[in-house]
Chains A and B, each alone.
Chain A
Amino acid sequence: MQKKFSIEVDCANCAAKVEAAVAQIPGVNSAAVSFMAQKLVIDAEEAEFARILKEVAKVGRRIDPDFAIDF
């Protein structure tokens, strides 16, 4: 299923990198980041979301130290 999250990401290039990195997380079918809307959409199994989101926060901060996600 698809879920949408508000994120904080500072630069457009970081947003693109976060998108690519999140898509690589095991269990994620697809991911899209909108830099302009500051939104992240993840398509994954319902049960996997808790683990995936933890990893998203981790990879996000690796790419942009100011990365934040609301969930």
Chain B
Amino acid sequence: MTRKQTRMLRRILISVATLAVVWVLCAFVPLPWYAQLALYLIPYLIIGYDVLRKAFLGVVQGEIFDENFLMAIATVGALALQEYREAAAVMLFYQIGELFQSYAVGKSRKNIAALMDIRPDYANLETGDGVQQVDPDTVAVGDVILIRPGEKIPLDGVVLEGSGTINTSALTGESRPRRVSPGDDVISGCVNQDEVLRVKVSKPFGQSTVARILELVENSSLKKAKAENFITKFARYYTPAVCIGAAALAILPSLFTGQWGVWVSRALTFLVISCPCALVISIPLTFFGGIGGASRSGILIKGGNYLEALAQVKTIVFDKTGTLTQGVFQVTGVFPAEGFTEDTLLETAALAESWSNHPIAQSLRAAWGKPLDSSRTRQVHEEAGHGLTAQVDGVPVAAGNARLMAQQGVQIPQNSKPAEGATVVYLAINGTYAGFLQISDVEKPTSAQAIQSLKRQGIRTVMLTGDAEAAAHQVARRLGLDDYHAQLLPGDKVEKLEQLLNAKAPNSTLAFVGDGINDAPVLRRADVGIAMGSLGSDAAIEAADVVLMDDDPAKLPLALRIARKCRRIVYQNIVFALAVKFLCLILGAVGIANMWWAVFADVGVMVLAVLNATRMLRPVKPE
């Protein structure tokens, strides 16, 4: 608890104790009304002096209809009607409610701050004479910093020296550590685990990942959801309306019946119920908890409005490469011809391509996985769009597609049938057909599971890709996507998305998921743009509404569930609070509900709504 809160708690306890003593005293000892009033004023003023002060200041400033004013009028009115106990108790409960609210809000702020505890306090800067601890803000691009085991990486950079593992869980929610070695990029906010790393800083602190994420989370509470705007607008009319209702209730019936005491008392009940804070507080609290909880799982949501839109998603459109697939080519099959082994085929292909930087060449080298002596390869001739020829250990080798083989006069046997949709590299050694290697962009391990999970949630899944029909068909079938559109140019993607937007059900939203590198226009056009694995990409963070910090498509169903839970809690609170308030207003008007009901309608509802909202702070479990 903060100092302010402890002080309030003390006031509440003292006030409760005095109220109890006075209550018992007045119950057993017959006292004249002024003595009773004087006694009840003690707990009343202890607990309510600040409310009275604020109410007075409010009236002076012309700012009536705030909650302090309502409570002041209601309790002073009750005192005037000689309902001393009620006056003191209402004030007391009001303050207990306020304390509870402030505690709950403070706690969820701290909770979010703790899970966003990624801000580094210092950087170990290498200077001419040793290592100095400095503020990360003062480190310049190109400086070299040291990160010891257990320390947070303060700025984005490239590892110069040291290899070990870093823990990215604060950023991605992924507990498996990541291996880094010299030449690898490291991002700020991760924790270095076991080796000293020397890192060359590549971005100033303000643009480093950690600063951008903190900024994003903080700004997210400024973008308000429709539900939040609705409720503040509602409160703007509701409170004055109830106050006017209370005035009418006090005056009109009394003019006819002459029972001023009864009707004024009912009007005061009205005022206590009219406090809008229960409604107003629980909604931002829920969204804040939802956004905070999501960021703990590596899902950054840029505003309450997007969280709301996510809850209504019925269609998800995926980009293929880099989103559902890893976007890197991998050798998925080695098929040597008679008389050749898999190893010969792979090593020869890797050697032949050892000078090339083409993604296919890289995948061949990665598949071979052992060191290659590229000096064994000479006289490399790249044939654009076909492949290449070279001398490996003095033997002529051709590696490429069927056209290259035809050009080289090499016969491909009928029985070598590569899988549909894969890229194929045929190999001829010394003019003889040696076999082929099948290379494909492999799906991410969690893609299929993510799509299944989305389908179970009733979501339509569509894939857009620039790839050839065959490759797209393969992926769509294997992952179980509802639909796909292949061979799209970047401009076509926007057009296709427009069509899908027009075709979606009313009141539902459409999300587009891309890797953010060249999807910016599509990300912007979708109701919710989701960028994936884009920790390093400014453009994606800029264009997207939701950023998945790691590459994991399984985060999508989780994000939707968080969004729906959030929406559920918000609706529950709105319906519950309004229903209880209106019920008590009606019961108060006809004289069934008294001041005690009113206290429940105000404070009780607020406490329950806040408790319900804090459910959002608990993590939503993946299926």
Contact = CB atoms under 8 A, between A and B. Distances in A.
Contact of A36 (B58, B109, B236): B109
B277 A13 contact: yes
Contacts of A62: 61-63
B218 A39 contact: yes
A33 B57 CA distance: 23
Contact of A34 (B54, B98, B222, B236): B222
Interface residues of A, number: 21
A12 B280 CA distance: 6
Contacts of B284: 12, 34-36
Interface in B37-56: 53-54
Given A35-B284, A36-B105, A65-B54, A13 B66 contact: yes
Contact of A39 (B54, B61, B62, B221): B221
A28 B143 CA distance: 41
B525 interface: no
Contacts of A65: 53-54, 57-58
B127 to A, nearest CB: 33
Interface string A30-71: 001111110101000000000000000000011111000000
A12 B277 contact: yes
Contacts, number: 66
Nearest to A13: B280
B66 A32 contact: no
Interface string B57-94: 11001110011000000000000000000000000000
B116 to A, nearest CB: 11
A39 B284 CA distance: 13
Contacts of B280: 11-13, 16
Contact of A13 (B53, B58, B232): B232
A65 B63 CA distance: 11
A37 B222 CA distance: 8
Nearest to B283: A12
B426 interface: no
B43 to A, nearest CB: 23
Nearest to B235: A13
Contacts of A10: 102
A35 B102 CA distance: 11
A32 B303 CA distance: 12
A41 B222 CA distance: 8
Nearest to A32: B222
B281 A11 contact: yes
B235 A16 contact: yes
A49 to B, nearest CB: 18
A24 to B, nearest CB: 13
A41 B281 CA distance: 20
B241 to A, nearest CB: 15
A41 B277 CA distance: 23
Contacts of B387: none
A14 interface: yes
Interface in B156-204: none
A11 B221 contact: no
A14 B66 contact: yes
Contacts of A33: 222
Interface in B99-131: 102, 105, 108-109
A69 to B, nearest CB: 15
B7 to A, nearest CB: 14
Nearest to A14: B66
A32 B54 CA distance: 24
Contacts of A13: 66-67, 232, 235, 276-277, 280-281
29 contacts: A10-B102, A11-B277, A12-B280, A12-B281, A12-B284, A13-B66, A13-B232, A13-B235, A13-B276, A13-B280, A14-B66, A17-B66, A32-B224, A33-B222, A34-B221, A34-B222, A35-B281, A36-B221, A36-B284, A37-B218, A37-B221, A39-B221, A39-B222, A62-B62, A62-B63, A65-B53, A65-B54, A65-B57, A65-B58
Given A12-B285, A32-B223, A64-B54, 13 more contacts: A11-B67, A11-B280, A13-B281, A14-B66, A16-B280, A20-B236, A32-B224, A34-B221, A34-B284, A37-B222, A62-B62, A65-B54, A65-B58
Interface of B: 53-54, 57-58, 61-63, 66-67, 98, 102, 105, 108-109, 218-219, 221-224, 232, 235-236, 276-277, 280-281, 284-285, 288
The 6 closest A-B pairs by CB, nearest first: A16-B232, A34-B221, A36-B288, A12-B281, A62-B61, A32-B222
